[in-house]
Structure 1
Amino acid sequence: MTLQMDLPTLDDYPTRKSTEAALLYRRDPTVWGTAEEGPFTDSELQDHDRRGYTRLESLVGDAEVLDHRDELDRLVRDPGLREDERALVDPADGGIRSVFEVHRVSEAFEALVNDPRLVERARQILGSEVYVHQSRVDHRPGFGGGPLYWRSDFETWHAEDGMPRMRAVGFSVALTDEHSHNGALMVMPGSHRTYVSCLEPAEEDGHERAGTPDRGALTILAGRHGIDVLSAEAGDVTVFDSNCMYGAGANITPFARSNLFVVYNSVENVCEKPFSAAEPRPGFLASRDFTPAGG
């Protein structure tokens, strides 16, 4: 593996184009807005810029969490949804594990995706109006759900969807308690400042074809930044920079883990032709509807 810190090329974030992995400098800000433009304080924005993620405790109330958990239960029990391309079905037991474009499937989740508590913070971090690049609910029942290997979402969105810049942010809303023992996310804080150029996409995992980071690159980043385990209580929200390196272990406990994940992209950063794929992914994975959220 080489350490290639600068590339004078039209594609500032090349990936899946070389025989060697590379670590590249990030060329975009993490925070595009200011404290005057939204609910985050200046100190909170600085922390987000430094770590690449922000924790928001109890942003969604207990009653709301229960309502959305009931809605998720309804979705995963819906036999008609199993035939929908937006549903990711576990071949082992036929259970629905994820529902993509969930804000188009469910009015309850549409309301949460467009909730000012999320949208205003996304606008503030990205410094513009935002649209929903992707939404999904993930349901991992007890004794279900394998590990999630390390990845940077931006690498996938850039390579597969044609997202030009690192001007997108993900919001994970915990619908159940998340602990280290039931597969809570792990993040390398500060890893968002380094772009990991990958060799090839992983084997298709459900609907995703995330690039697989080189083990040498992961070792360097983990040694430099460490690893945070993002335990959360139901109703907590975690805000991720698009280039954070994250992963998760398998859930072998009896305790379910479920969450809503929504990606907001700047309307000034709309997706173009994919940078490392023959054609873009379907719209339910990477929306081409750039209508601003929260309207």
Structure 2
Amino acid sequence: MNRGATVLDDRYPTRLSDLPALLERADPTVWDDGRVPGPLSADELAAHERDGFVTVGGLLDPAEVTAFSAELHRLATDPLVRADERTVVEKTSSEVRSIFEVHRLSRAVAELVGDERVAGRARQILGGDVYVHQSRINYKPGFGGGGFYWHSDFETWHAEDGMPAPRAVSISIALTENFAHNGCLMIMPGSHRTFVSCVGETPAEHYKQSLREQEIGTPDRDSLRMLADRYGIAMMTGPAGSATVFDANCMHGSADNITPYPRSNIFVVFNSVDNALQAPFAADRPRPEHVAARERTPVVGGSA
């Protein structure tokens, strides 16, 4: 298996042992002490440093929510988009679960990704220029939208994409109201400080399965219990138009949605241009470009 780096280069070893481990984070959360200007206040940066996430109320106004909701519906019902490899359907139904590289499929989403309200927050946290590592739309329809089991995104990006350090941040922008009962995002506050080294070797083309339901790269129950006891669990509820900005190594997940109330969001991952992907640390080959971009063109205002 191609590890992409020597053991000495890998500060976050995972999927290499039969025993899980909890490792202390070796990198900052807010880079360059937040000296890059942006929309986040000093208090918000401090909250992100402390908890690994910050919530943003009213990132989109009602008119924008309506427009982006219509765009999500257009994409989900477009036969060409549905047939594209970037579209993932639910494991137990034909409902669209996610559409990846959505900023390449939608001009409206590309403009939003480049908006200072979005990319500006990522630059501020990561200390400089950023590029889009991944973008997607997540749909969680009522009466059966599937959840996402507990995981650290960075564990996957490190193992399968070759991301060296957790110098990446995700922004989840709600287009429907997030209730505690319709599968909202859950985060363990402060868990970004602890890296969970997972067990299990990465299968070939693992992404095809994991994007529907992830098993390899998810923490064992004892580790999850320890993290939950240590950090607790916060539920990211809020109205349409609100957003959650969270660190790449936050332990997070969401439950199935068995309510009548759908939940959908635009999800963008920004990586620092100084955190270039290497060969995967625990997989035979990199995941496709639409899942993990290797081209590092910096996001500038109004474009992505």
TM-score, structure 2 length as denominator? 0.91
Name the CA distance, whole Å, in 2 between partners of 1:39 and 1:72.
26
Residue in structure 1 matching 2:286, options 269, 277, 280: 280
SS at the partner of 1:181? coil
Name the CA distance, whole Å, in 1 between partners of 2:167 and 2:300.
18
* Equivalence for 1:150: 150
Name the CA distance, whole Å, in 1 between partners of 2:46 and 2:134.
26
Q: 1:255-291, CA deviations, whole angstroms, 9 ceiling, x for partnerless residues?
A: 0100000000000001011000010000000001100
Residue in structure 2 matching 1:264, options 253, 265, 270: 270
- Structure 1 residues 43 and 35: CA distance shift in structure 2, 3 A: farther
AA in 1 matched with 2:133 = H
Name the CA distance, whole Å, in 1 between partners of 2:140 and 2:213.
17
Residue in structure 1 matching 2:240, options 234, 244, 257: 234
CA contact (8 A) 1:35 1:41 kept: no
* Equivalence for 2:101: 101
Name the CA distance, whole Å, in 2 between partners of 1:148 and 1:89.
14
* 2:54 maps to 1:54: yes
Q: 1:109-168, CA deviations, whole angstroms, 9 ceiling, x for partnerless residues?
A: 111111111111100100010000000001111112122110000000000000001100
* Equivalence for 2:118: 118
AA in 2 matched with 1:106 = S
The CA deviation at 1:205 is 2.9
* Equivalence for 1:10: 9
Identical columns (%):
53
* Equivalence for 2:89: 89
* Equivalence for 1:28: 27
Name the CA distance, whole Å, in 2 between partners of 1:36 and 1:137.
28
* Equivalence for 2:3: none
CA contact (8 A) 1:35 1:42 kept: no
* Equivalence for 1:206: 211
SS at the partner of 1:293? coil
| Stretches of structure 1 lacking an aligned partner (at least 5 in a row) | 1-7
Name the CA distance, whole Å, in 2 between partners of 1:90 and 1:212.
19
* Equivalence for 1:215: 221
| Stretches of structure 2 lacking an aligned partner (at least 5 in a row) | 1-6
Higher RCO (CA < 8 A, seq sep 6+): 2
- Structure 1 residues 274 and 90: CA distance shift in structure 2, 3 A: same
- Structure 1 residues 217 and 93: CA distance shift in structure 2, 3 A: closer
Name the CA distance, whole Å, in 1 between partners of 2:171 and 2:262.
20
The CA deviation at 1:90 is 2.9
The CA deviation at 1:9 is 3.1
* Equivalence for 2:63: 63
Spell out the pairing of 1:168-179 with structure 2 (5 A cutoff).
168-179=168-179
TM-score, structure 1 length as denominator? 0.94
CA contact (8 A) 2:114 2:300 kept: yes
AA in 2 matched with 1:52 = G
Moved more, 94-103 or 248-257: 94-103
Q: 1:170-220, CA deviations, whole angstroms, 9 ceiling, x for partnerless residues?
A: 000000001111000111000000000000259723367560101111111
Name the CA distance, whole Å, in 1 between partners of 2:269 and 2:49.
18
The CA deviation at 1:35 is 5.0
- Structure 1 residues 91 and 43: CA distance shift in structure 2, 3 A: closer
Spell out the pairing of 1:190-205 with structure 2 (5 A cutoff).
190-200=190-200, 204-205=209-210
Number of matched pairs: 288
- Structure 1 residues 225 and 182: CA distance shift in structure 2, 3 A: same
CA contact (8 A) 2:90 2:146 kept: no
Over aligned residues, Cα RMSD in angstroms? 1.6
